[in-house]
Structure 1
Amino acid sequence: MLLHYRLDGPEHGEPLVLAPSLGTSTRLWNRQITALARTFRVLRFDLPGHGDSPALQAGTLDGLAALVLDVADAEGLDTFHFAGVSIGGAIGATLAARHPGRLRSLAMICSSARFGDPEAWHERAKLVREQGTAPLLEATARRWFAQTPDRALLDDLAATDPAGYAACCDALAAYDLRADLAGITVPTLVVAGREDPATPPAHARELADGIPGATLVELPGAAHLAPADQPERVTQALLAHLPALPGMRVRREVLGDAHVDRAVARTTPFTRDFQDLITRYAWGEIWTRPGLDRRTRSCVTLTALVARGHLDELAMHVRAALRNGLTPDEIGEVLLQSAIYCGVPAANAAFAVAQRVLAEEDHA
């Protein structure tokens, strides 16, 4: 069988697969898709028996991971980034552990290396096979949302095929990846909702501690469906994490992780498009061109900032110039040169800024 899926974003964009949570559909990612599909070729799929996917009578996480690979193969995706919620995150971790050559990066959102007592999952599977998903709706709403419940997502749960839902429950009962976490080597982001009763932050910390180099983000005001509960914060965390975002790698290399992380943390819906613009065009198009090395680009940038009097930006790029290999004496030479062609008052202000930054760096 082939899972139902849909594609968004530029045809030649970096491939990104988004996986849903148990009881939801591709709709779970509706609040992130606009931002992600600007850059990435985004593939969203429905779990068996969910949305428009056919149901399975039985399943395992390895089997679900294999179904995702079938979808990726159908679209010619040899490798791809992956982000998933709950069981979706577990599918991604299974892919990273069992098929490490297929993933470029991994994001696990409100997920776990083991989802509690297997017997509880078998009991839920039995209930759903006998009575459908209707008995789950009230408790699930409390588990999924710390904010206003998304009725459309609850409608997805009500419409889920009982056999498909139960098969996923059986897969979760058998899932335990704790012993395999150390073998996950792709860049990994772990996101926890601080008000998530299903996979509380302790589950996320176990993942982050077990996966080498993993980054942990805890979101206040988020329960189990963080992409619906805190959509902007989930979007920001993903955009900061995804290494394929054009320019983000160069931006971090030149300006440093601390500066970029602060900029990302301050991003709002009002400023998000601007942040995307400078990352893609300034850092992804100009700073990556082969015609000048980074030292030379730093010299040009310092001169331009002195000429225009952009002193806040100048401080940032003095630090960047040091990271790009310029010495303090060479930075001084650039400012001396700018005094002749940009004006002595402008250079005087620039020297004051540069001296302060260099002193801070000496004491860092």
Structure 2
Amino acid sequence: MRDARRRFGGLAADSHGVDDHRPPVVLVHGLTYDRSQWGPTLRELAALDPGRRALALDLPGHGGSPAFDSYRTDDVADVLHGAVTDAGLDRPVMVGHSIGGAIVSAYAARHPTRGVVNVDQRLLLGPFGDLVRRNEPVLRGPDHLALWETLLAGMGVDQLDSAAQELVRTATTVRQDLLLGYWDEILTATDEAFTAQWVRRLERIRASGVPYHYVAGKEPSAAYREWLESMLPGVSVHVLPGGGHFPHLAEPAALARIIAGVGR
């Protein structure tokens, strides 16, 4: 199995496996983290589906990837497409955790894919949007780390095993420019405009017939599940409990099984 650290489209990446008849997999981490979060999932995927091509990328401004002018969702999705094209991947399965789940969803609305796996990222703002907007002065001030720690405390990190907890707490860079840049659309758009944007994206995904999987750490609310199923009638919802906001670290083998079955 090939295991190479390199750059594609300017983004730092780990490239695994070989190109063959199987759909390649692209993995995108969450805000402030890096591609190392996919280590457990990649190991399980390699055991389940040996040699399958998989590309774990660092988002712009994260890990080994340089800063970019814009971190808005569509712009980052286009940067990812540049990396996918540079890597020679054909219609990959896009997997993303947290804000990465939003970005790979936007990617599928703009570029050819074989499927989407969104790991624990709601596409409606709800209380989180209210919290971010209410704390905009904190985000723009010297205490932005305190807000992040408050958010992290509610993500269920203590449910993870010690190795996964260490990964969450240490393999992270909580930079102010990243929080402000990746949350810019939350801070500047109304709930109505934000939702309308996602409705348009999901309509394009539905029209393309691309399979969509939503993987959550707990059962989504009835209202959100109803909305998601109304937008994507064929959506598959998977609940992997025991890891809070990090089901990919709590149940990497279960996630690998989901990924392995997408687009086949």
Normalised by the size of structure 2, how large is the TM-score? 0.77
Q: Is the 8 A contact 1:48 1:164 kept in 2?
A: no
> Where does structure 1 lack aligned partners over 5 or more consecutive residues?
245-364
Q: What's the counterpart of residue 343 of structure 1? A: none
Structure 2 vs 1, CA of residues 35 and 10 (structure 1 numbering), >3 Å: closer, same or farther?
farther
Q: What's the counterpart of residue 5 of structure 2? A: none
Q: Is the 8 A contact 1:193 1:201 kept in 2?
A: no
Q: Is the 8 A contact 2:23 2:91 kept in 1?
A: no
Q: What does 1:235-274 correspond to in 2, within 5 Å?
A: 235-239=256-260, 241-244=261-264
Compute the RMSD of aligned alpha carbons.
2.7
Structure 2 vs 1, CA of residues 156 and 137 (structure 1 numbering), >3 Å: closer, same or farther?
farther
Structure 2 vs 1, CA of residues 17 and 171 (structure 1 numbering), >3 Å: closer, same or farther?
farther
Q: Distance in 2 between matches of 1:150 and 1:201?
A: 30
What SS class does the counterpart of residue 33 from structure 2 fall into? coil
What SS class does the counterpart of residue 33 from structure 1 fall into? helix
Q: What's the counterpart of residue 39 of structure 2? A: 30
1:178-232 per-residue CA deviation (whole Å, 9 max, x = no partner) reads 344233120111111117xxx7675455324421311111222231111112223
Structure 2 vs 1, CA of residues 205 and 94 (structure 1 numbering), >3 Å: closer, same or farther?
same
Q: Pick from 176, 183, 189 the counterpart of residue 169 of structure 1.
A: 183
Q: Distance in 1 between matches of 2:103 and 2:246?
A: 16
Letter in 2 for 1:10: V
Structure 2 vs 1, CA of residues 11 and 97 (structure 1 numbering), >3 Å: closer, same or farther?
closer
Aligned positions, number: 237
Q: What's the counterpart of residue 76 of structure 2? A: 64
User: Runs ≥4 in structure 1, deviation > 4 angstroms?
Assistant: 122-126, 172-175, 199-202
Q: Distance in 2 between matches of 1:172 and 1:203?
A: 18
Q: Does 1:116 align with 2:126?
A: yes
Q: Is the 8 A contact 1:84 1:107 kept in 2?
A: yes
| Identity between Structure 1 and Structure 2 (%) | 25
Structure 2 vs 1, CA of residues 203 and 190 (structure 1 numbering), >3 Å: closer, same or farther?
same
Q: Is the 8 A contact 1:57 1:164 kept in 2?
A: no
What SS class does the counterpart of residue 242 from structure 2 fall into? coil
Q: Pick from 169, 172, 191 the counterpart of residue 154 of structure 1.
A: 169
Letter in 1 for 2:11: L
Q: Which structure has the bigger radius of gyration? A: 1
> Where does structure 2 lack aligned partners over 5 or more consecutive residues?
1-8
Q: Does 1:212 align with 2:219?
A: no
Normalised by the size of structure 1, how large is the TM-score? 0.58
Q: Pick from 127, 138, 154 the counterpart of residue 142 of structure 1.
A: 154
Structure 2 vs 1, CA of residues 86 and 58 (structure 1 numbering), >3 Å: closer, same or farther?
same
What SS class does the counterpart of residue 143 from structure 1 fall into? coil
1:143-201 per-residue CA deviation (whole Å, 9 max, x = no partner) reads 152513612222233x2432123211214555531344233120111111117xxx767
Specify which structure has the higher proportion of helix: 1
Specify which structure has the bigger relative contact order, considering alpha-carbon pairs within 8 angstroms and separated by 6 or more residues: 2
Q: Does 1:186 align with 2:200?
A: no
What SS class does the counterpart of residue 24 from structure 2 fall into? strand
Q: Distance in 1 between matches of 2:136 and 2:88?
A: 34
Q: Is the 8 A contact 2:70 2:76 kept in 1?
A: no
